[in-house]
Every structure is written in C-alpha cells, then in structure tokens.
C-alpha cells in the first residue's frame, strides 16, 4: 500500500467511526474512568507524594485529608489545589473522616505505630487501602491486618514500590534466571555519614497539633521537636529505627528472590556507640537471618559514612547477592550491576528508571493498586507480602532487645514465651489492640 492509498483508507475508516449510528451512540454513552472517593490519613511529605500519584492517575476524587497537625493539612491542601479542582474536607480524626466521607480508597501514610488501626478501620468501613511500609510496629498487628484484608475482601497494597521499579524487576529476572549461579548469601545494607548530634530539649507541642492523638495507642511522652514531622523513625515507641525503615525494602528484595517465605532463625546486635541526640534507635546494627538454603545479613550505620562501598556519589545502599557465578548488586539510584566471577568477563549493568521528584516509582505501584481493585486480584505487594518483609525487620529488632537469637516458624517463636510476648504490646487508653 502506497502513501496515497493509506491516506484514503484511513479517511474511510475515520468516516465510519463518525457516521456509524451504533458506534456514535456507544461513543456518546461511554463514561469516563471511574473516580474513586479517595482520602489520605497522614498528610505530610510522604502522604503528599502518594496523593500526587493518585491525582495524576486520573481515577480519584480526593474527598478528604486527615492529619493531627493542621499545618500539614494546609500545606498539602495548598499543593493539591495546584493539581486538581477537588476540594477535600479536612479532618484531624480518621474515625470521623471514615464515617462522614465513606471513602472507597484510603491512603495510610502516618507514622508506623498508627498503620494497623487506621488500615483495619478503613477496610472494615469498606475502603481499599494503600498503606505505607512497614505495615506495623509489632508482628501480631500485621497478622490482624492480613486477617482483616481477607475477611473484608478489600485490596490492601503496601508501599514497597521496588516491587514494580523497572530495574528491580529486570534485576530480579536476572537473579532468578540462574546467571548468578547458586546463591549462598545475601547482604543488605545502608550507611549514612553522621556524627554524635546533640540532645533536643522536650517542649510544648505546637497549638496546631494534637500531640495526644499523634501518640495514639503508643506510649504518651513529652513532645520533642526532633521527632516531628520527619524524625520519629528513630524513636522506638513509634517506629523501629533504620532496620524498620530502609531495611524493609531490602529484606523484601531478598524474599522476592527466594522461594522461602521466612527465615528460620534470627540474631541481631547493635547499639548507640556514637549518637548522643534525643533519639533511642541504634546508630549501628547487624542482623543475621538463617534460611534453609542461604544466609541473609543486614547492616546499617548512621555515622562515618562508607566511601569504600559507594555505588552512587551519595549512597552506600542495596543488596549484594553472592553466587557461584559472581556477585550481583541490587541498588537504588544506580540500578543493578552483576560482577562475574570470571575476571575476563565484563560487568553487566542496568540503569535505574525512577520518577521525579522523589526518585521512587509510586505511580507504577498506584497503577497496579487500581488494576487490582478493578480485577479483584491481589496486588503486586499485597498486605501478606508486606507482612513477611516487615516481620524480618521486626524479628531483628526483637532479637536485639532480647540480646539473643530467636527461632521463627512463620507464625510464632516456638517454645519461647519470653520472646512471644514481644510479638505484641499493650495499647494505651481507649485504643484496643487488633486481633
């Protein structure tokens, strides 16, 4: 077919589309993509990142923003007004928001200690949930979240976007292809430069903030400006330090690669050798996870940096998989690289493909979330997957608190009542621990 014939054929095809009565009626009746009533609980920096992806996907009507700090609400509301004409209502209590707005999707981007109660309440109220990692502060909370998702039939996606990031997907295909050989060990790590710091005095909570509600089911302590809005991860009543933050992503990469669902034994040690600030999370930690066919190791340090292992100008982060055919590094900003054991063979590299401005791939994970809602199929990072990856970090913290190793059968710590007590913790005041 020459160009002239092609243009004639195309014109005829176009005419048919416009004049065929059945197709015209179908075109007029066609509805735009469904707009899910969407709300966010935790309207700070990260909640805003997820909300941006939801707006850009074009399938959400933002009906509510919820946060205990009205400054966060105003900032996110102002930013949202530049992206959409939606006029969400503002709330400080997620329970009021769920009852009044009846959202179909709820984003949970609060500090970790709030994830379980809000996610469970949202699912029980009829909403699908996108919850940030780690899914919970304790292991039994995670079990309750999985149970609720199955009982309600709601989709619950966990924000571990590396499950969809292009270089992580291709890297996992490379690992599973056998090109690295038999892998006997994986080593995950993150190292930050830093020093001792200094204590920050406690003070009065800002008048724009409901500090009692911020603490919620966790212990109520004096407000400290070093905690809010973004440094609470290093206060162990509300999070689980670097292992509970960064470690989740890299533990998940290990579990994604292996067919084993959990380690059988965990030992962790660490402490605060350098830090002298007001936080209480370990400034360094090493955890060893014994699996049936391999050993995994986690290590982090928040002082001294690591110029020897930097795989990017600003980072020493990722997972090394050690196989009989070479060493594979799964990274973040730098993509992945395979270093063959045979020095005559050149390294193989794949660059990262990351979305701006946060260098994550939230939009891809959100698209998968929407697809799962429409098809009623489990998402790529279903709550049970997030639960297993969170458990690895929580078991590492549990072992460090006990000062000894613990066994793990996927549900509990066999024949160890002392350790099993740490799978839960008492809730404060009106809050009831989920079961």
Q: Which pLDDT tens digits describe the chain residue by residue (435 residues)?
A: 333 333 333 333 333 333 344 443 443 344 456 799 999 999 999 999 999 999 999 999 999 999 999 999 999 999 999 999 999 999 999 999 999 999 999 999 999 999 999 999 999 999 999 999 999 999 999 999 999 999 999 999 999 999 999 999 999 999 999 999 999 999 999 998 889 999 999 999 999 999 999 999 999 999 999 999 889 999 999 999 999 999 999 999 999 999 999 999 999 999 999 999 999 999 999 999 999 999 999 999 999 877 777 766 666 899 999 999 999 999 999 999 999 999 999 999 999 999 988 899 999 999 999 999 999 999 999 999 999 999 999 999 999 999 999 999 999 999 999 999 999 999 999 999 998
Residues 95, 141, single domain; the answer is yes
Residues 111, 47, single domain; the answer is yes
Residues 188, 219, single domain; the answer is yes
Task: Quote the pLDDT of residue 49.
Answer: 95
What is the SS3 assignment for 182? Answer: coil
What six digits make up the tokens of 145? 């979240």
Residue 226 CB neighbour total at 10 angstroms? 18
Residues 116, 173, single domain; the answer is no
Q: Could you give the strand order of the β-sheet that contains 284-290, starting from the edge strand earlier in sequence?
A: 348-350, 336-340, 326-330, 317-323, 183-191, 295-301, 284-290, 265-271, 406-407
Beta bridge partners of 106: 39, 129
Residues 197, 138, single domain; the answer is no
Task: Quote the pLDDT of residue 5.
Answer: 38
Residues 395, 246, single domain; the answer is yes
Calpha distance 428→215 (Å, rounded): 9
Q: How many domains are there within the chain?
A: 2
Residues 283, 391, single domain; the answer is yes
Task: Quote the pLDDT of residue 313.
Answer: 63
Residues 126, 177, single domain; the answer is no
Domain boundary among 162, 191, 208: 162
What is the SS3 assignment for 308? Answer: coil
**Where do runs of H (alpha helix) occur along 196-240?**
211-215
CATH assignment of the domain containing 281: 3.30.360.10
Question: Quick check: 188 and 297 in contact, CB under 8 A?
Answer: yes
Give the Å distances, CA to CA, from 168 to 160, 162, 242, 248: 11, 6, 21, 15
User: Is the omega angle on the peptide bond into residue 238 within 30 degrees of 0, that is, cis?
Assistant: no
Question: Quick check: 283 and 275 in contact, CB under 8 A?
Answer: yes
Residues 178, 287, single domain; the answer is yes
Determine, yes or no, domain membership for 276: yes
Residues 94, 201, single domain; the answer is no
Determine, yes or no, domain membership for 7: no
Residues 251, 312, single domain; the answer is yes
Domain boundary among 162, 197, 216: 162
Closest among 229, 246, 244, 104 to 188, alpha carbons compared? 246
| Full residue range of the structural domain in which residue 79 is found | 36-162
Task: Quote the pLDDT of residue 315.
Answer: 67
Domain boundary among 120, 143, 162: 162
Residues 241, 388, single domain; the answer is yes
Calpha distance 201→193 (Å, rounded): 24
């Amino acid at each position: 077919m020459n160009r002239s014939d092609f243009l004639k054929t195309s014109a005829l095809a176009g005419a048919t589309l416009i004049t065929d009565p059945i197709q015209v009626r179908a075109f007029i009746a066609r509805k735009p993509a469904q707009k899910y009533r969407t709300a966010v609980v935790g309207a700070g920096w990260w909640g805003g990142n997820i909300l941006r992806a939801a707006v850009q996907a074009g399938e959400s009507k933002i009906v509510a923003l919820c946060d205990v700090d009205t400054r966060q609400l105003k900032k996110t509301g102002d930013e949202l007004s530049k992206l959409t004409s939606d006029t969400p209502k503002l709330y400080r209590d997620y329970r009021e928001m769920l009852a009044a707005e009846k959202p179909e999707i709820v984003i949970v981007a609060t500090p970790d200690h709030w994830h379980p109660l809000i996610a469970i309440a949202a699912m029980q109220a009829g909403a699908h949930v996108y919850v940030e990692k780690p899914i919970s502060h304790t292991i039994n909370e995670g079990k309750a979240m999985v149970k609720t998702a199955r009982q309600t039939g709601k989709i619950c996606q966990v924000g571990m976007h590396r499950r969809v990031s292009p270089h992580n997907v291709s890297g996992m295909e490379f690992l599973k292809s056998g090109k690295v050989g038999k892998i006997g060990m994986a080593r995950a790590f993150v190292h930050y430069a830093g020093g001792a710091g200094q204590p920050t005095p406690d003070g009065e909570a800002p008048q724009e903030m409901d500090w009692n509600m911020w603490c919620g089911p966790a212990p109520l302590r004096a407000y400290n400006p070093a905690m809010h809005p973004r440094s609470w991860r290093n206060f162990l009543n509300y999070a689980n330090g670097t292992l509970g933050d960064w470690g989740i992503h890299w533990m998940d990469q290990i579990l994604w690669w292996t067919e084993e669902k959990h380690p059988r034994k965990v030992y962790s040690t660490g402490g605060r050798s350098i830090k002298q600030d007001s936080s209480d999370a370990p400034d360094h930690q090493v955890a060893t996870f014994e699996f049936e066919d391999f050993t995994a190791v986690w290590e982090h340090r928040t002082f001294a940096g690591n110029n020897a292992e930097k795989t990017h100008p600003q980072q020493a982060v990722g997972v090394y998989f050690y196989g009989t055919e070479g060493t594979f590094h799964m990274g973040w900003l730098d993509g992945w690289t395979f270093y063959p054991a045979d020095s005559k063979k050149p390294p193989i590299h794949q660059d990262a493909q990351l979305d701006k401005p946060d260098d994550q791939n939230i939009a891809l994970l959100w698209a998968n979330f929407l697809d799962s809602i429409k098809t009623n199929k489990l998402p790529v990072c279903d709550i049970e997957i997030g639960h297993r990856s969170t458990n690895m970090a929580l078991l590492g913290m549990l072992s460090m608190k006990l000062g000894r190793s613990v066994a793990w059968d996927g549900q509990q710590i066999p024949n160890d009542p002392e350790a099993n007590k740490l799978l839960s913790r008492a809730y404060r005041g009106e809050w009831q621990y989920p079961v």
